[in-house]
Amino acid sequence: MKLLLLRTYSNSLGTINPVAELCQKAHAIGALTLLDAAQSAGHMPVDVRELGCDFLAFSGHKMCGPTGIGVLYGRAEILDSMPPWHGGGEMIVSVTLERSMFKKAPHRFEGGTPSIGDAIGLAAAIDYIEQIGRAAIFEHARNWRDMQLSASGNCRGACSKIAARPICSM
């Protein structure tokens, strides 16, 4: 199995990677793709269908949510073909001495009680970001980047190649 892992963009360099194009190229050679959207999920729209990825992950704290929770998206046909890694909870349809039958994804991967409070907190954080609008957040970040570049004065060559994201992180 081949797997290509890509970050959607870098908050330290400001680079926005052409992930849709890279996902197409990976699929052309039979590789699956996993996108790290930790830096992009809170700053710009992320559409897994547009990107053409097989998996996508981001952490909740990068979106003003609680630490210790995040999101892992996987294409349904891939997830349904994967066995569960852990047993218990609401994932079981039936159990006999001969075999166990599991629910379809994503339920087949929920072996135990989820972190309900963190999930509620992450949902509230996503609602908050949606109310502001990712386009507005992205534009604010772009303006902040321009201010940083302008204040640096002598940063010409390399800084002129920086994409639309800020070049500092907190």
Domains in the chain (CATH in brackets) are 2-149 (3.40.640.10)
Average pLDDT of the chain is 86
What local confidence, expressed as pLDDT, does residue 169 receive?
Answer: 47
What local confidence, expressed as pLDDT, does residue 47 receive?
Answer: 93
Residues of the chain below pLDDT 50? 160-161, 169-170
Three-state DSSP string of the chain: CEEEEEECECCCCCCECCHHHHHHHHHHCCEEEEEECCCCCCCCCCCHHHHCCCEEEEEHHHHCCCCCCEEEEECHHHHHHCCCCCCCHHHEEEECCCCEEECCCCHHHCCCCCCHHHHHHHHHHHHHHHHHCHHHHHHHHHHHHHHHHHHHCCCCCCHHHCCCCCCCCC
pTM metric for this prediction:
0.80
